[in-house]
Structure 1
Amino acid sequence: MLIIYVVAFIAIFYFMAIRPQQRQRRAHQALLSSLKKGDRIVTSAGIYGTVKRVEESIVVVEVAKGVTLKIARRAVAEIIRDSSMARATAPETAPRRGKAVAEIEESTDEDMDMEADEDDESAAAEAPRDTPPKSVSKTSRGGRG
Protein backbone atom coordinates (compact mmCIF):
# COMPACT_ATOMS: atom_id res chain seq x y z
CA MET A 1 0.00 0.00 0.00
CA LEU A 2 2.88 2.34 0.78
CA ILE A 3 4.33 1.82 -2.69
CA ILE A 4 1.07 3.03 -4.26
CA TYR A 5 1.25 6.26 -2.24
CA VAL A 6 4.88 6.85 -3.24
CA VAL A 7 4.15 6.26 -6.93
CA ALA A 8 1.07 8.51 -6.75
CA PHE A 9 3.10 11.25 -5.05
CA ILE A 10 5.83 11.06 -7.73
CA ALA A 11 3.22 11.18 -10.52
CA ILE A 12 1.48 14.19 -8.99
CA PHE A 13 4.81 15.95 -8.50
CA TYR A 14 5.76 15.26 -12.13
CA PHE A 15 2.50 16.59 -13.57
CA MET A 16 2.27 19.59 -11.23
CA ALA A 17 5.89 20.80 -11.17
CA ILE A 18 8.26 19.27 -13.70
CA ARG A 19 6.07 19.08 -16.80
CA PRO A 20 4.83 22.71 -16.73
CA GLN A 21 8.40 23.90 -16.18
CA GLN A 22 9.57 21.93 -19.22
CA ARG A 23 6.74 23.43 -21.27
CA GLN A 24 7.73 26.97 -20.21
CA ARG A 25 11.38 26.30 -21.05
CA ARG A 26 10.46 25.03 -24.53
CA ALA A 27 8.24 28.08 -25.14
CA HIS A 28 11.04 30.43 -24.06
CA GLN A 29 13.54 28.64 -26.32
CA ALA A 30 11.12 29.03 -29.24
CA LEU A 31 10.75 32.72 -28.42
CA LEU A 32 14.53 33.20 -28.38
CA SER A 33 15.00 31.33 -31.66
CA SER A 34 12.40 33.53 -33.38
CA LEU A 35 14.11 36.74 -32.20
CA LYS A 36 15.09 38.99 -35.12
CA LYS A 37 16.16 42.54 -35.89
CA GLY A 38 13.36 45.07 -35.45
CA ASP A 39 11.40 43.11 -32.82
CA ARG A 40 10.08 45.09 -29.86
CA ILE A 41 11.01 43.23 -26.67
CA VAL A 42 10.75 43.35 -22.91
CA THR A 43 13.63 41.98 -20.86
CA SER A 44 13.27 40.06 -17.63
CA ALA A 45 14.39 43.26 -15.87
CA GLY A 46 11.47 45.17 -17.42
CA ILE A 47 13.47 47.14 -20.00
CA TYR A 48 11.60 47.87 -23.24
CA GLY A 49 13.52 48.20 -26.49
CA THR A 50 13.96 47.34 -30.15
CA VAL A 51 16.35 44.61 -31.29
CA LYS A 52 19.16 46.02 -33.44
CA ARG A 53 21.40 42.95 -33.70
CA VAL A 54 21.13 39.30 -32.65
CA GLU A 55 24.26 37.27 -31.96
CA GLU A 56 24.67 33.77 -30.57
CA SER A 57 24.34 34.69 -26.89
CA ILE A 58 24.01 38.51 -26.99
CA VAL A 59 21.24 40.80 -28.22
CA VAL A 60 21.88 44.49 -28.91
CA VAL A 61 18.77 46.47 -27.97
CA GLU A 62 18.03 50.14 -28.63
CA VAL A 63 16.16 51.53 -25.61
CA ALA A 64 16.12 55.18 -26.71
CA LYS A 65 17.27 57.07 -29.77
CA GLY A 66 21.02 56.45 -29.96
CA VAL A 67 21.13 54.44 -26.70
CA THR A 68 21.89 50.73 -27.09
CA LEU A 69 22.37 47.97 -24.55
CA LYS A 70 24.05 44.60 -24.90
CA ILE A 71 22.01 42.03 -23.01
CA ALA A 72 22.18 38.28 -22.65
CA ARG A 73 19.87 36.58 -25.11
CA ARG A 74 18.26 34.56 -22.31
CA ALA A 75 17.24 37.85 -20.59
CA VAL A 76 14.58 38.50 -23.25
CA ALA A 77 11.27 37.77 -21.54
CA GLU A 78 8.75 38.70 -24.21
CA ILE A 79 8.44 39.80 -27.82
CA ILE A 80 5.80 42.46 -28.35
CA ARG A 81 4.21 41.59 -31.69
CA ASP A 82 1.25 44.00 -31.86
CA SER A 83 1.47 47.77 -31.42
CA SER A 84 -1.79 47.85 -29.43
CA MET A 85 -0.36 45.23 -27.08
CA ALA A 86 2.81 47.31 -26.76
CA ARG A 87 0.75 50.28 -25.61
CA ALA A 88 -1.15 48.10 -23.15
CA THR A 89 1.98 46.62 -21.57
CA ALA A 90 4.21 49.71 -21.72
CA PRO A 91 4.69 51.51 -18.41
CA GLU A 92 3.01 54.85 -17.92
CA THR A 93 5.19 57.89 -18.35
CA ALA A 94 6.37 59.60 -15.20
CA PRO A 95 4.61 62.83 -14.26
CA ARG A 96 6.43 66.06 -14.90
CA ARG A 97 8.41 67.46 -12.00
CA GLY A 98 6.76 70.90 -12.03
CA LYS A 99 3.30 69.52 -11.22
CA ALA A 100 4.48 67.50 -8.25
CA VAL A 101 6.24 70.48 -6.69
CA ALA A 102 3.11 72.63 -7.01
CA GLU A 103 1.00 70.06 -5.15
CA ILE A 104 3.27 69.89 -2.11
CA GLU A 105 2.17 72.09 0.75
CA GLU A 106 5.12 73.74 2.39
CA SER A 107 5.29 73.67 6.15
CA THR A 108 7.37 75.92 8.33
CA ASP A 109 9.27 75.13 11.50
CA GLU A 110 6.56 76.89 13.52
CA ASP A 111 3.88 74.59 12.06
CA MET A 112 5.94 71.54 12.99
CA ASP A 113 6.55 72.85 16.53
CA MET A 114 2.83 73.49 16.99
CA GLU A 115 1.98 69.97 15.79
CA ALA A 116 4.57 68.48 18.16
CA ASP A 117 3.12 70.46 21.09
CA GLU A 118 -0.39 69.23 20.23
CA ASP A 119 0.86 65.64 20.08
CA ASP A 120 2.54 66.02 23.49
CA GLU A 121 -0.62 67.47 25.02
CA SER A 122 -2.83 64.68 23.63
CA ALA A 123 -0.38 62.01 24.82
CA ALA A 124 -0.30 63.56 28.30
CA ALA A 125 -4.09 63.60 28.44
CA GLU A 126 -4.29 59.92 27.49
CA ALA A 127 -1.60 58.74 29.96
CA PRO A 128 -2.74 57.41 33.34
CA ARG A 129 -2.15 59.97 36.11
CA ASP A 130 -1.31 57.64 39.00
CA THR A 131 1.90 56.19 37.45
CA PRO A 132 5.12 58.21 37.60
CA PRO A 133 6.97 58.89 34.34
CA LYS A 134 9.58 56.32 33.35
CA SER A 135 13.20 57.35 33.64
CA VAL A 136 15.88 56.17 31.27
CA SER A 137 19.20 55.07 32.70
CA LYS A 138 22.43 54.86 30.75
CA THR A 139 22.53 51.08 30.91
CA SER A 140 18.99 50.63 29.57
CA ARG A 141 20.03 51.93 26.15
CA GLY A 142 22.07 48.83 25.44
CA GLY A 143 25.46 50.31 26.34
CA ARG A 144 27.82 49.21 29.07
CA GLY A 145 27.91 51.62 31.99
Structure 2
Amino acid sequence: MLIIYVVAFIAIFYFMAIRPQQRQRKAHQALLASLKRGDRIITAAGIYGTVKRVEENIVVVEIAKGVSMKIARRAVAEIIRDSAEARAAAPEPTPRGKGATAELESGDEEVTGQGVSEESTEASSEEPEDGQAKQ
Protein backbone atom coordinates (compact mmCIF):
# COMPACT_ATOMS: atom_id res chain seq x y z
CA MET A 1 0.00 0.00 0.00
CA LEU A 2 2.84 2.38 0.85
CA ILE A 3 4.44 1.71 -2.53
CA ILE A 4 1.27 2.90 -4.29
CA TYR A 5 1.39 6.20 -2.40
CA VAL A 6 5.08 6.69 -3.21
CA VAL A 7 4.54 5.97 -6.91
CA ALA A 8 1.51 8.28 -6.99
CA PHE A 9 3.50 11.05 -5.28
CA ILE A 10 6.37 10.70 -7.76
CA ALA A 11 3.95 10.76 -10.71
CA ILE A 12 2.19 13.88 -9.40
CA PHE A 13 5.53 15.59 -8.78
CA TYR A 14 6.69 14.73 -12.31
CA PHE A 15 3.58 16.09 -14.00
CA MET A 16 3.30 19.18 -11.77
CA ALA A 17 6.96 20.26 -11.59
CA ILE A 18 9.40 18.53 -13.91
CA ARG A 19 7.38 18.27 -17.12
CA PRO A 20 6.27 21.95 -17.28
CA GLN A 21 9.85 23.03 -16.59
CA GLN A 22 11.11 20.88 -19.48
CA ARG A 23 8.47 22.36 -21.78
CA GLN A 24 9.44 25.89 -20.73
CA ARG A 25 13.14 25.15 -21.30
CA LYS A 26 12.45 23.81 -24.80
CA ALA A 27 10.39 26.90 -25.66
CA HIS A 28 13.23 29.17 -24.46
CA GLN A 29 15.78 27.21 -26.51
CA ALA A 30 13.58 27.59 -29.59
CA LEU A 31 13.32 31.33 -28.91
CA LEU A 32 17.12 31.62 -28.67
CA ALA A 33 17.58 29.61 -31.86
CA SER A 34 15.24 31.97 -33.73
CA LEU A 35 17.13 35.16 -32.74
CA LYS A 36 18.20 37.22 -35.73
CA ARG A 37 19.47 40.69 -36.51
CA GLY A 38 16.77 43.33 -36.15
CA ASP A 39 14.68 41.49 -33.55
CA ARG A 40 13.44 43.67 -30.71
CA ILE A 41 14.03 41.88 -27.41
CA ILE A 42 13.66 42.12 -23.65
CA THR A 43 16.48 40.71 -21.53
CA ALA A 44 16.04 38.85 -18.26
CA ALA A 45 17.11 42.09 -16.53
CA GLY A 46 14.29 44.01 -18.22
CA ILE A 47 16.43 45.88 -20.75
CA TYR A 48 14.76 46.58 -24.10
CA GLY A 49 16.88 46.61 -27.24
CA THR A 50 17.38 45.63 -30.86
CA VAL A 51 19.63 42.73 -31.87
CA LYS A 52 22.58 43.95 -33.95
CA ARG A 53 24.67 40.76 -34.07
CA VAL A 54 24.18 37.16 -32.94
CA GLU A 55 27.17 34.97 -32.12
CA GLU A 56 27.30 31.50 -30.60
CA ASN A 57 26.87 32.56 -26.95
CA ILE A 58 26.79 36.36 -27.22
CA VAL A 59 24.21 38.79 -28.58
CA VAL A 60 25.08 42.42 -29.32
CA VAL A 61 22.06 44.56 -28.49
CA GLU A 62 21.54 48.25 -29.30
CA ILE A 63 19.72 49.76 -26.31
CA ALA A 64 19.76 53.37 -27.55
CA LYS A 65 20.90 55.08 -30.72
CA GLY A 66 24.65 54.46 -30.89
CA VAL A 67 24.74 52.54 -27.58
CA SER A 68 25.33 48.79 -27.83
CA MET A 69 26.09 46.15 -25.25
CA LYS A 70 27.05 42.49 -25.29
CA ILE A 71 24.84 40.10 -23.37
CA ALA A 72 24.80 36.36 -22.89
CA ARG A 73 22.49 34.74 -25.39
CA ARG A 74 20.66 32.91 -22.61
CA ALA A 75 19.82 36.31 -21.01
CA VAL A 76 17.27 37.04 -23.75
CA ALA A 77 13.89 36.58 -22.10
CA GLU A 78 11.49 37.52 -24.89
CA ILE A 79 11.29 38.62 -28.51
CA ILE A 80 8.87 41.52 -28.96
CA ARG A 81 6.49 40.82 -31.82
CA ASP A 82 4.66 43.77 -33.39
CA SER A 83 1.55 42.16 -34.75
CA ALA A 84 -2.18 42.54 -34.45
CA GLU A 85 -2.26 39.30 -32.46
CA ALA A 86 0.21 40.63 -29.89
CA ARG A 87 -1.72 43.87 -29.49
CA ALA A 88 -5.00 41.96 -29.13
CA ALA A 89 -3.50 39.69 -26.47
CA ALA A 90 -2.10 42.60 -24.45
CA PRO A 91 -4.10 43.60 -21.39
CA GLU A 92 -6.11 46.79 -21.71
CA PRO A 93 -4.39 49.72 -19.98
CA THR A 94 -5.94 51.05 -16.81
CA PRO A 95 -7.18 54.66 -16.84
CA ARG A 96 -5.05 57.21 -14.99
CA GLY A 97 -5.43 60.87 -14.12
CA LYS A 98 -8.58 62.90 -13.65
CA GLY A 99 -11.74 60.93 -13.94
CA ALA A 100 -9.99 57.61 -13.30
CA THR A 101 -11.76 55.65 -10.63
CA ALA A 102 -10.97 52.45 -8.83
CA GLU A 103 -13.10 50.59 -6.40
CA LEU A 104 -11.78 50.28 -2.89
CA GLU A 105 -11.92 47.01 -1.04
CA SER A 106 -13.29 47.06 2.45
CA GLY A 107 -10.72 48.38 4.87
CA ASP A 108 -8.82 50.35 2.20
CA GLU A 109 -8.43 54.07 2.63
CA GLU A 110 -8.66 56.51 -0.24
CA VAL A 111 -5.39 58.33 -0.95
CA THR A 112 -5.86 61.70 -2.62
CA GLY A 113 -2.36 63.18 -2.49
CA GLN A 114 -3.74 66.22 -0.69
CA GLY A 115 -3.02 67.06 2.89
CA VAL A 116 0.77 67.13 2.74
CA SER A 117 1.53 69.89 5.16
CA GLU A 118 4.46 72.25 5.12
CA GLU A 119 5.44 70.88 8.52
CA SER A 120 6.11 67.43 7.07
CA THR A 121 8.25 68.85 4.25
CA GLU A 122 10.15 71.09 6.66
CA ALA A 123 10.76 68.21 9.06
CA SER A 124 12.51 66.24 6.34
CA SER A 125 14.99 69.07 5.72
CA GLU A 126 15.90 69.63 9.38
CA GLU A 127 18.93 68.21 11.13
CA PRO A 128 18.64 64.74 12.65
CA GLU A 129 17.38 64.59 16.22
CA ASP A 130 20.69 63.34 17.61
CA GLY A 131 22.26 66.75 16.89
CA GLN A 132 24.62 65.63 14.13
CA ALA A 133 24.66 67.65 10.95
CA LYS A 134 23.80 66.09 7.60
CA GLN A 135 26.72 65.17 5.40
Which TM class, normalised by the smaller chain length? 0.5 to 0.7
RMSD, aligned α-carbons:
2.4
1:27 aligns with 2:27: yes
Residue 106 of structure 2 corresponds to none
Going from structure 1 to structure 2, the CA distance change for 1:80 and 1:72 (only over 3 Å counts) comes to same
Q: SS at 2:29's partner residue?
A: helix
Q: Deviations over 1:68-120 (max 9, x none)?
A: 0100000000001116758x69xxxxxxxxxxxxxxx89479x65xxxxxxxx
Amino acid at match of 1:80: I
Residue 95 of structure 2 corresponds to none
Residue 14 of structure 1 corresponds to 14
Distance 1:106 1:23 in 2: 55
TM (norm. structure 2) is 0.63
Residue 135 of structure 1 corresponds to none
Distance 1:82 1:37 in 2: 15
Q: SS at 1:32's partner residue?
A: helix
TM (norm. structure 1) is 0.59
**4+ residue runs of structure 1 moved beyond 2 angstroms?**
83-86, 105-109
Distance 1:69 1:106 in 2: 46
Going from structure 1 to structure 2, the CA distance change for 1:75 and 1:108 (only over 3 Å counts) comes to same
Residue 54 of structure 2 corresponds to 54
Going from structure 1 to structure 2, the CA distance change for 1:66 and 1:2 (only over 3 Å counts) comes to same
Q: SS at 1:27's partner residue?
A: helix
Amino acid at match of 1:56: E
Going from structure 1 to structure 2, the CA distance change for 1:3 and 1:106 (only over 3 Å counts) comes to closer
Q: Return the structure number with greater helix share.
A: 1
Equivalent pairs, count: 95
Unmatched tracts of structure 2, length 5 or more: 92-115, 124-135
